[in-house]
């Protein structure tokens, strides 16, 4: 690894407990710059705890973590300058219009020409036509897209999206997926936590599975597929889905095994 250009995120031996409950049990992880890195895990796996540590909202018990080359414990202010965090629920002011929300955040961050920044982000996230409307009139997908747009003001190199599609309907989820793809296309490093297997499959360049406080696999989707035996082929080859991989590596149910595909018997 070239330390003059360190990974966007690096974790070594990261641990966190709440009294007797061990949530993170020695996490080692590198997230390269650019693209979408998905952290996949069930509810309670420790995904949000990890994001809170990386965003300086929570202290680890042991180990080290750096974001954009800065130690999260020793240089928290520089880390906060480098990141943006979008949680599970859209943090928009519903009384203000979409454009006013963006202008407000731009002014708080002392960005030059807040109006121009707001207009650019409205266009980028396909919200120009709704920019003058109160955010309270927005659909769930529109609010989430506005929330992500607000998080990009100041051009942070690293963005944390903590289960960004929780509670959204399928159409709104697709809208958010398109927004996330746009972030990666523009060179932003996105750490996405999700419990939706299809979401990780659709968006991520690399995927890590967090299970019982540990990273148990880390790789591209194709690399993860190779963890399972080759699909049985009679007439049609069925490649393992990410859901099957997840249950296989976490020791889950038989859903983790590739299904056997056969053709109907010929009469």
Q: What is the pLDDT of residues 173-223, one digit of tens each?
A: 888 888 888 888 888 999 999 888 888 998 999 999 999 999 999 999 888
Q: pLDDT higher for 261 or 60? A: 60
Specify if 3 maps to a domain: no
pLDDT of residue 91: 79
pLDDT of residue 255: 39
User: E strands, 95-211, where?
Assistant: 158-162, 189-194, 206-211
Specify if 4 maps to a domain: no
Given CA atoms 150, 175, 83, 212 in this order, what sign does their dihedral have?
A: positive
Domain that holds residue 159: 9-219
Average pLDDT over the chain, rounded to an integer: 86
pLDDT of residue 92: 86
- Report pLDDT digits (tens) over 5-62: 789 999 999 999 998 899 999 999 999 999 999 999 888 889 999 999 999 999 999 9
* 186 and 263 both lie in a single domain: no
* 119 and 212 both lie in a single domain: yes
* 108 and 240 both lie in a single domain: no
Count of Cβ atoms closer than 10 Å to residue 260 Cβ? 10
Supply the angle between the helices 140-151 and 170-185 in degrees, to the nearest 10.
20
* 159 and 240 both lie in a single domain: no
Residue 264 pLDDT > 80: no
* 131 and 212 both lie in a single domain: yes
* 163 and 209 both lie in a single domain: yes
Specify if 2 maps to a domain: no
pLDDT of residue 253: 56
Q: Residues 6 or more apart from 131 whose CB is under 8 A from it?
A: 97, 98, 99, 118, 119, 122
Q: Residues 6 or more apart from 188 whose CB is under 8 A from it?
A: 34, 152, 156, 157, 158, 159
- Which residue, 202, 219, 236, sits at the end of a domain? 219
**What backbone phi and psi angles, to 5 degrees, belong to 181?**
-60, -40
Residue 72 pLDDT > 80: yes
What is the number of domains present in the chain? Answer: 2
pLDDT of residue 1: 47
- Which residue, 219, 241, 256, sits at the end of a domain? 219
pLDDT of residue 231: 64
pLDDT of residue 246: 86
- Report pLDDT digits (tens) over 133-154: 999 999 888 888 898 889 888 8
* 150 and 237 both lie in a single domain: no
Specify if 105 maps to a domain: yes
- Report pLDDT digits (tens) over 225-247: 888 777 665 666 778 888 788 88
* 108 and 155 both lie in a single domain: yes
pLDDT of residue 260: 39
pLDDT of residue 266: 42
pLDDT of residue 234: 64
SS3 of the chain: helix, strand, coil, percent, to 5: 35, 25, 40
**What backbone phi and psi angles, to 5 degrees, belong to 263?**
-90, 150
Rounded to whole angstroms, the Cα distance separating 99 from 132 reads 6
pLDDT of residue 3: 60
Distances (CA, A) of 95 to 98, 121, 131, 144: 9, 19, 13, 16
- CA 240, distance to chain mean position in Å, is 23
């Amino acid at each position: 690894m070239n330390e003059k250009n360190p990974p966007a995120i690096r974790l070594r031996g990261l641990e966190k407990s709440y009294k007797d409950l061990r949530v993170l049990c020695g996490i080692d992880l590198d997230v390269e710059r650019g693209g979408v890195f998905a952290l996949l895990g069930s509810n309670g796996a420790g995904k949000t705890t990890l994001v809170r540590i990386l965003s300086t909202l929570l202290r680890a018990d042991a180990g080290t973590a750096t974001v954009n080359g800065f130690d999260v414990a020793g240089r928290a202010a520089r880390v906060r300058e480098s990141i943006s965090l979008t949680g599970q629920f859209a943090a928009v002011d519903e009384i203000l219009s979409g454009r006013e929300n963006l202008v407000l955040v731009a002014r708080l961050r002392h960005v030059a020409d807040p109006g121009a920044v707001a207009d650019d982000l409205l266009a980028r996230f396909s919200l120009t036509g709704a920019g003058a409307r109160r955010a309270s009139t927005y659909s769930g997908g529109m609010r989430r897209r506005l929330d992500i747009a607000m998080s990009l003001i100041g051009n942070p190199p690293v963005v944390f999206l903590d289960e960004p599609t929780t509670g959204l309907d399928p159409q709104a989820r697709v809208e958010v997926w398109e927004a996330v793809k746009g972030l990666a296309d523009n060179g932003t490093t996105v750490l996405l936590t999700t419990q939706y297997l299809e979401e990780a499959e659709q968006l991520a360049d690399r995927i890590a599975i967090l299970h019982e406080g540990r990273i148990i696999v880390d790789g591209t989707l194709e690399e993860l597929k190779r963890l399972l035996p080759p699909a049985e082929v009679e007439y049609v080859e069925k490649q393992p889905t990410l859901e099957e991989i997840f249950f296989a590596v976490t020791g889950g149910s038989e859903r983790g095994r590739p299904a056997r595909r056969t053709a109907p018997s010929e009469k």
